Amino acid sequence: MTQEMWEIKRLHLKPELVWSMAMSSLRLRMGRTLLTLLTVAACCAFLLFLLTAPISDDPADRQMWGLMITLSLIVSAAGVLNTMLMSVTQRYREIGTIKCLGALDSFVLISVLVESAMLGLAGAILGIFAGLLLSVVIGSISVGLGVFTAAYWSGVFWKIGAAALVGLCLTTFGAALPAYIAAKMPPVEAMRGEK
């Protein structure tokens, strides 16, 4: 009679289930979602603004600008990573629970990554628009109508790409480590982990 319980079958990792888990989580934790979204957007916007803003050819100025970009990246990275870390660690209990229901480690990991990537992507898009707007406004103050010339915007596409990539990577990597740890934990520890 107990033989049948050991006819192990492969459990299913259904993409639509991963998607619905990620989306429900984003929708129902709207406050946290918006907060993270704004953090990522602010990070991308600031980075893009720094990359596109006009700077003089003076090496000292350029050096200062480079330093500002690096510092701002570190500050925003720390903010985004911390937000993602908090958002995953606060869900250890839920992760433990779905593992009790038969979630594979890969399901846990992938659904958290999909959720974070969606957040990262949305934040990056918002941030890019905000960053470009900021660039136009600030740029028009310093160079006037020059801000609408093609020369001003040289290399803008790779700068947009870089800002988007930073946003996406920060959210995904920020969530990846705690999600991996939670996925590998015995369920009872994960359920206790929230405390």
Closest approach of other proteins to the CB of residue 159, in Å: 36
Sign, CA torsion 120/126/132/136: negative
Tell me if 11 sits within 8 A of 96, measured CB to CB. Answer: no
Closest approach of other proteins to the CB of residue 107, in Å: 8
In the bound state with other proteins, the residue whose beta carbon lies nearer, of 131 and 187, is 187
In the bound state with other proteins, the residue whose beta carbon lies nearer, of 93 and 173, is 93
Close Cβ partners of 32 (under 8 Å, ≥ 6 residues apart): 87
Closest approach of other proteins to the CB of residue 166, in Å: 28
Closest approach of other proteins to the CB of residue 21, in Å: 8
Q: Using CB under 8 A, list all residues that contact other proteins.
A: 1-2, 5-6, 8-12, 14, 16-17, 21, 24-25, 27-29, 93-94, 96-105, 107, 186-189, 191
In the bound state with other proteins, the residue whose beta carbon lies nearer, of 161 and 186, is 186
Closest approach of other proteins to the CB of residue 140, in Å: 44
Taking the C-alpha atoms of residue 33 and residue 35, their distance in angstroms, rounded to an integer, is: 5
In the bound state with other proteins, the residue whose beta carbon lies nearer, of 61 and 189, is 189
Q: Is 181 exposed, middle or buried (0-12, 13-18, 19+ CB in 10 A)?
A: middle
In the bound state with other proteins, the residue whose beta carbon lies nearer, of 49 and 92, is 92
147: closest CA among 156, 137, 157, 158? 137
Taking the C-alpha atoms of residue 127 and residue 38, their distance in angstroms, rounded to an integer, is: 8
